[in-house]
Amino acid sequence: MISRKLVLRFPTHLVDKPIIYRLVKDYDLVFNILKADISPQEEGVLVFELSGEPQAVESGVAYLRDLGVHIQPFSEDVRRDEDKCTHCGVCVVMCPTGALSIDRTTMLVSFDSSKCIACEACIEACPPRAMQIRF
Ligand code: SF4
Ligand code: SF4
């Protein structure tokens, strides 16, 4: 069993289709909706955690892609506002993966989004709210 957090963007013609139902029924997947912003006639955004056997998760994601749903890992939506960051270093100790690290020579904090697992620990910790999740 594996889990993946994903951000799905549905084009308007797919918003009212029973896509999630098919994921559960045809691919035997379990999902947990973290955030949903879906309204008729507009692009829909759904953030969810998909769980199941590895092959089933891959097949389910391929099914979504084939339909035209745009998919990105949740971690890609964690961003740093470079104008707000004061390089105070508070987030570095909070980050469990080393996505946020400090250069001991320059004392500047860098953000490597490829290491981010979107745990959100830095979001609340950052004094000037430089770390953000965008949907
Ligand atoms: S806590 Fe916020 S302001 Fe401080 S280094 Fe991290 S991102 Fe920058
Ligand atoms: S969301 Fe979590 S993993 Fe990503 S940068 Fe912030 S503390 Fe690190």
Per-residue pLDDT tens digits for 27-36: 999 988 887 8
Q: Give residue limits of the domains in the chain.
A: 2-68, 79-133
Q: What is the 3 state secondary structure string of the chain?
A: CEEEEEEEEECHHHCCCCHHHHHHHHHCCEEEEEEEECCCCCCEEEEEEEEECHHHHHHHHHHHHHHCCEEEEHHHHEEECCCCCCCCCHHHHHCCCCCEEECCCCCCEEECHHHCCCCCHHHHHCCCCCEEECC
User: Is pLDDT above 70 for 56?
Assistant: yes
User: Is pLDDT above 80 for 54?
Assistant: yes
Query: Is the CB of 130 inside a 6 Å radius of any atom of ligand 2?
Result: no
> Would you place residue 6 in the very low, low, confident or very high pLDDT band (cuts 50, 70, 90)?
confident
> Which of 7, 78, 93 for a ligand 2 pocket mutation test, highest count of atoms within 8 Å of Cβ?
78
Class of domain 79-133: alpha beta
Looking at the CA of 125, name the nearest ligand. 1
Q: How close is the Cα of 64 to the center of ligand 2, in Å?
A: 27
Q: Right CATH number for 2-68 from 3.90.1170.40, 3.40.50.720, 3.30.70.260, 3.40.250.10?
A: 3.30.70.260
User: Is pLDDT above 70 for 135?
Assistant: no
Specify the amino acid at residue 48.
F
Residue 129 to residues 34, 93, 96, Cα–Cα distance (Å)? 21, 16, 19
Per-residue pLDDT tens digits for 94-107: 988 899 999 999 99
